[in-house]
Every structure is written in C-alpha cells, then in structure tokens.
Amino acid sequence: MVNSTQYTSAALKAELNSKGWRMTPQRETILKVFQELPAGNHLNAEELHARLETSSGISLSTVYRTLKLMARMGILRELELAEGHKHYELNQPYPHHHHHLVCVKCYRTIEFKSNPILTIGSKAATERGFKLLDCQLTIHAVCPECQRSIVPL
Amino acid sequence: MVNSTQYTSAALKAELNSKGWRMTPQRETILKVFQELPAGNHLNAEELHARLETSSGISLSTVYRTLKLMARMGILRELELAEGHKHYELNQPYPHHHHHLVCVKCYRTIEFKSNPILTIGSKAATERGFKLLDCQLTIHAVCPECQRSIVPL
DNA sequence: TTAAGTGCAAAAACTTTGCATATTT
DNA sequence: AAATATGCAAAGTTTTTGCACTTAA
C-alpha cells in the first residue's frame, strides 16, 4: 500500500464539514478504494461500483455523486484516456503527481512526471486568480506497435 | 477567417487516401466548419450537427464518425472541458497551439499558450517512440468569482 | 467494380434525477 | 430537529451500431 497516508478520512471529513457537507461511510469507503489502488491504475464509475458492490452495497448513484463531488473538491482527478467514460485516480501532490501519454489506437497509457509543467500550470492558474485543483498534460499519440500496424481507426 | 489556410481539403484527401480511406463532401464540409470557427470556440457533436443540418443534411451518425476519425488522425483535438460531452477544435500547430484553464464550477474556460510545455510533451512522446498527435495541458481550478460564491457542487 | 461511407432508426452506454427513507450534524 | 445523503427505479443524454443504399477511387 503505497499511498495510504496521503489524505486521511479525518481530513476529508474536515473539508466536507467546512462546506456544510457530511462524512458518510460511503464516502470514506470510496476514498479508501482509491488510496489502496496501485499506482498507474484508474477506475471508472462502473468499475468502482463493482468493487464496492460485493462488500458494502454502495449504489451506482452514490458512486457517480461521490466521484463528481471529490473531483470538484480536488481530491480525485478526472482522466479522459479511453473511449466513452471518465476514469478517476487520486489527485496526488508533488512527488507523485504525473501526466499521461496515451495511444489513440490501442489506448495504452504511460505515466510520466514533469516538475516544469506543474510550475507552469500553477502559475497560469494563480496569475489569473484561479485556485488550482489539478494540472494534467495529456498527450495523444500513436504507440510504436500501432504505427506499424495498418489497422484503421 | 483566421485559420483557413492551415489545412487544405486536398491535404485531408491525401492523408485519407494514404490509409485507404476516402474524401467525401461530408468530411470536407466538416473540416471547413472547424476552419472557419473563430479562435477560442469549440463544438460538440450536437452543435456541429446543428450547423450542418440546415445546409447540408449531414447525419448525426456521420458527425460522430467524422469527429472520431479526425481526432484520431490528429486533425482535431478532443477537449473535455464541460460536463458530459466532448468538444472539438482544430489541432493547430505552433503559433496557435494552446492549453486550457477551466473552472470546475462554472466551466468558464481560458486559453493560454506555452512553448515549454509543447517541448516537454514532444520529448515525452518521441523518446518513447510514440508519434505525437496532440499535447494539451488542462488545468482544473476554481475561478475568482466561484471562489467567492458559497454555491455547492 | 468494390470497398468505404452515409443515413436512418434502433440499441447501447453512460449519467442524472425524483422521491421516500436513512443518517449526520 | 433539520438538512444532507442514500438507494432505487425511472428518465435523460450521449454515442454506437446494423443494415440497405450510395459513392469515391
């Protein structure tokens, strides 16, 4: 378990309460799933729901509501890597913060880090008075394998 | 009309043909719509279809198919700025290439440029053998106005 | 000619919402 | 006690697909 200490459920509760929202077992469980997710993994709503269903019976509605809430709070990052559905991962601070290189054909995804980008992104936001939540470079490209294949689309 | 000379329909035809695909009036028309779109504008499938419907009667299916095709060819950029639907814009080279700063609450979007990011992105792709199609930094943040409002979500 | 592209309508996939009930604060 | 959150089922959006017909190469 690599990332489990980043963001405690107490911190989540505090942040929720400061805005008049509430901590619930569902939200705590969902946070935990993301914290225990191995680096480089992402989940969409359906996948998260599948993991939760067995143990806790959290509904799909709540999954969607929680993902949106946490993304807007800056706790989760919304990734648009593959077709059709958003994926989510923990929004981690500096040493773990990373970007994505995605093959538009096979959707293979590679993570990479870059401090300069983080710096440029923060500056772009703050100098316009925006409060930064997330800063992600997404590179769309064709991977070496797919460059060779003549497969269409 | 600022960008009309960037990418001719002849160039599109050549690129399509090189892969066994075909130029069609629909594809030509859609390219033209994007070329004539004022800087800073984006269209989703529905909006593009609405513009086409009046004159040319291009179907929604074709709109979706064409957007996906052109995005994967690197001609269009797929943007994930607001809720629920993708937006598209021309994927423009260097002097026009830009990134997006988006308010997660009101979805106000600001474009900004950065050469260093383009450089870092190209390098990240090519040093892994990927052929670069697009490189976009998306910054999620809260705009000054929305920081003041206590409106939830 | 013949393989790719289009339009249509139907289906699929994804996400949101209304409402009664349960829970935090 | 009051207001937020949840679960369920239903509805809403967005996107894809099958198929017969058309058209570019």
What sign does the dihedral A63-A67-A73-A76 (CA atoms) show? positive
Burial B71-108 (b: 16+ CB within 10 A, else e): bbbbbbbbbbbeeeebbbbbbeeeeebbbbbbbbbeee
Nearest to B131 among A20, A121, A142 (CB): A142
Angle subtended at Cα A49 by Cα A48 and Cα A53, rounded to the nearest 5 degrees: 125
pLDDT tens for each residue of A43-58: 999 999 999 877 788 9
Q: Inter-chain contact A129–B143, Cβ cutoff 8 Å?
A: yes
- pLDDT given at position B54: 73
CB of A147 nearer than 7 A to strand C:
no
Pull the structure tokens for residue B43: 């269209």
- Quote the DSSP letter at residue B43: B
pLDDT tens for each residue of B47-61: 999 998 777 889 999
pLDDT tens for each residue of A105-148: 888 899 999 999 999 999 999 999 999 999 999 999 999 988 87
**What is the average pLDDT across B137-152?**
81
**What ranges make up the beta strands (E) of A41-90?**
76-79, 87-90
Nearest to A69 among B125, B134, B153 (CB): B153
Q: Inter-chain contact B125–A101, Cβ cutoff 8 Å?
A: yes
Residue A11 pLDDT > 70, yes or no?
A: yes
Which residues fall within 8 angstroms of residue A143, CB to CB, at 6 or more apart?
A: A103, A105, A106, A108, B129, B130
Label residue B153 by pLDDT band (50, 70, 90).
Answer: low
Pull the structure tokens for residue B28: 């030509």
pTM as predicted: 0.89
How far, CA to CA in Å, does B108 sit from each of B32, B40, B144? 26, 12, 11
Round to whole Å and give the CA distance between B103 and B144.
9
Distance of C1' in D25 from CA in B123, Å: 38
Nucleotide nearest to B57 (CA to C1'): C7
What sign does the dihedral B29-B34-B38-B44 (CA atoms) show? positive
> Does A50 reach chain B within 8 Å, measured CB to CB?
no
Q: Inter-chain contact A117–B112, Cβ cutoff 8 Å?
A: no
Provide the mean pLDDT of chain B.
89
Residue B1 pLDDT > 50, yes or no?
A: no
Which A residues, 98 through 117, put their C-beta within 8 Å of a C-beta on chain B?
99, 101, 103-105, 110, 112, 114, 116-117
The torsion angles phi and psi of A139, rounded to 5 degrees, stand at -110, 120
DSSP, collapsed to helix, strand or coil, labels residue A107 as: coil
Q: Which domains, ranges and CATH numbers included, belong to chain A?
A: 9-149 (1.10.10.10)
Q: Do A125 and B141 contact (CB within 8 A), yes or no?
A: yes
DSSP, collapsed to helix, strand or coil, labels residue B141 as: strand
- Nearest Cα of chain A lies from the Cα of B41 at a distance, in angstroms, of 20
Nucleotide nearest to A62 (CA to C1'): D6
- pLDDT given at position A13: 96
Give me the percent of chain B exceeding a pLDDT of 90.
68
pLDDT tens for each residue of B64-83: 999 999 999 999 999 988 76
- pLDDT given at position A151: 55
